[in-house]
Amino acid sequence: MEQTINEVFKNRTEKYKGRLAVEKKLNGKWEKVTWRKYYEHARSVGLGLYSLGIKKGDMVSILSENRLEWIFTDMGTLGLGAVVVPIYTTLTAEEVKYIIENSESKILFVENNMQLEKALSFIDEIESLEKIVVFNKNDAKNSHPAVISFDELISMGKENIEKPALFETLASEVIPEDLATIVYTSGTTGVPKGAMITHKNIMAVIYSLDSIEPKFAYDTDQTVPLLPLSHVFERVAGHFYGMYVGLTASYAESIDTFVVDVKEKCPTVVLAVPRVCEKVYQRILGQVEEQDEWKQKMFHWGYKIGLEISELREKKKPIPLVLGLKYKLAYTLIFKKLADALGGRVRWMTASGAPTSRDIVLFFNASGITVIEGYGMTECCAPATMSNLSDYKIGTVGKPLPNVGIKIADDGEILIKGDNVFAGYWKMEKETQNAFTDDGYLMSGDIGQFDEDGFLMITDRKKDLIITSGGKNIAPQKIEGIFKFDPLFTQFIVVGERKKFLSAMVNINLEQAERIAKQQNITFTKPEDLLDNKDFLKIVDEHVAEKNKQLARYETIKKYRIIKNEFSQEGGELTPSLKMKRNVIYDKYTDLIDTMY
């Protein structure tokens, strides 16, 4: 039984040898790498780092988008027994500096000149940082003595290959309790904390996922990764679990080319977050509204049939003959288009990390794409619960993974225990102690409950609960999910702490706004003008009123304000995993919020 990810990597290379392991699209062409070549590249990186003095326990940071060099560096670093510190490219120079300095990283890998400039702004201020390695060789032509190219590092590594089995020896000396990576929390509040994840933590997740029947993946599967490797879910449940299974990963050229690349590669499994599902769903509804009345009626007829089918599948009930025949027609006319848009072979995709609208999940399921909902956090090495391909309940995040213990505290907080739970926060002893209960359970900070069948339901973040001046405890995520189901709203955040009523800040989908304006004969020069158009704003009022009908009176949105710039990572309102930083948004828009009360 393999105990470290290093063992997994070596064994899969020996098993699959010349078979395609990974590929990356670059300048319109796919660069293909076999398992053997993958291992050779990783070994060269590891031995190159060894020649720079990197040893077991040293920190190596990676600041880059997904690319082959990222995973070569990851496995090469781990092979030395060193520790990988992934960094999101969307972070500012100051945020990157904090992580490099706090982790005491000795080497920083950067993707290109944009990321290199961030590093050069603080290179002389951080004592531990010795070298910056640039993946793009054309961007490595810098006079600073600390800067070298990735190719130079590879050359150094090849010189060390003459030492028989040096890399293999170092990799075999790594034990399960050794640190594999430090992943800094995305920081919805406070200073980012470095979560220490061991090889044992990673292998616990891999074995838990692999023990579930029916299997999530096989070595014949293919995926087109969408999430960044800096994201713990993509790296552990995607990259490492994918390596264990032996599937092929085809990395898209960029997020902008993802749709094209997916159609070309026709993946069978896709890891995504709810926001991706929401955008796909909203785009489809928007396209439907542009069609003639007959096609719209046909869509809504088929949509209703699809929802019925999905609900019967969820409840494991038989599908009546007539309904089944209707569904075959509906699938051909409607749902096949969604399946084809994702390459036509996707069996399942994830929607983990935040609540997902039930109707959106049903829509994907009707297309033959089972949406896998799950729950976890960086501190428990990504998933702690997952839906099962044959046992799921929409609106829940599945059941605890095998060998993961979950219980609910008296105040509703979800508590987690198992070998998947991290080793603590790097250089933060007090915060580590505060993260656990006296009996050793990780305190998630999320509120939830188990239903009668053992499925976990997340009701809200413990710190996100809104307490009105009337003493009502309200979960904003439920309300926000209802409003985001409307294609007119791209983002929706509820406010009302210690206030008499709830209000909201809203981002408008300009493409949908334009469609509605044309249908209603509202004149405008550009879509942005509609956000100040009285006639259009009346329509927004109507949409808000319609959604309020689904809520209890104390949950309804009494007032709202439109935010013209969409919440983003660059604006500081979203984490790299696209979660809203509520405190940041509240502080940034305090004056605007005050106008509603």
Sorted by where each begins, the domain ranges of the chain are 34-174, 196-460, 466-594
Residue 300 and residue 293: Cα distance in Å, rounded? 11
Tens of pLDDT, residue by residue over 165-178, are 999 999 999 999 99
- Higher per-residue confidence, 471 vs 553: 553
- Whether residue 359 is predicted with pLDDT greater than 90 in this model: the reply is no
Q: How confident is the model at residue 592 (pLDDT cuts 50, 70, 90)?
A: very high
Cα gap 587→597, rounded to integer Å: 16
Give me the residues paired with residue 377 across strands.
382
Query: Is there a contact between 395 and 453 (Cβ–Cβ < 8 Å)?
Result: no
Angstrom distance (rounded) from CA 422 to CA 402: 17
Q: Is the pLDDT of residue 402 over 70?
A: yes
pLDDT at 478: 81
Superfamily of structural domain 196-460: ANL, N-terminal domain (3.40.50.12780)
- Higher-scoring residue by pLDDT: 590, 575: 590
Cβ atoms of 213 and 219 within 8 Å: the answer is no
The arithmetic mean of pLDDT across residues 1-17, rounded, is 97
d(CA 192, CA 99): 8
* Measured distance CA(5)–CA(242) in Å, rounded: 11
Answer with the residue of higher pLDDT: 141 or 52.
52
Give the Cα separation of 310 and 436 in Å (integer).
39
Q: How confident is the model at residue 186 (pLDDT cuts 50, 70, 90)?
A: low
pLDDT level of residue 279 (50, 70, 90 thresholds): confident
Alpha carbons 208 and 434: distance in angstroms, whole number: 27
| The pLDDT value given to residue 537 | 95
Q: How far apart are CA 160 and CA 166, in angstroms?
A: 8
User: Residue 16: what pLDDT?
Assistant: 98
Work out whether strand 269-270 and strand 348-350 pair parallel, antiparallel, or are unpaired.
parallel
Return d(Cα 108, Cα 126) in angstroms, integer: 12
What class is the 466-594 domain?
Answer: alpha beta
Check if 34-174 and 466-594 are the same fold.
no
CA distance 458 to 515: 35
At 265, which helix (H) or strand (E)? helix 258-265
- Highest-confidence segment of 298-302, 322-326, 569-573: 322-326
Domain 34-174 = CATH 3.40.50.970:
no
94-135 pLDDT per residue, tens: 989 999 999 999 999 999 999 999 999 999 999 999 999 999
Measured between alpha carbons, how far is 488 from 491 in angstroms, rounded to an integer? 9
pLDDT of residue 302: 92
Distance of CA 334 to the CA centre of its chain: 28
Helix/strand number for the chain, H first, E second: 22, 26
Please state the separation of Cα 226 from the chain's center in Å: 8
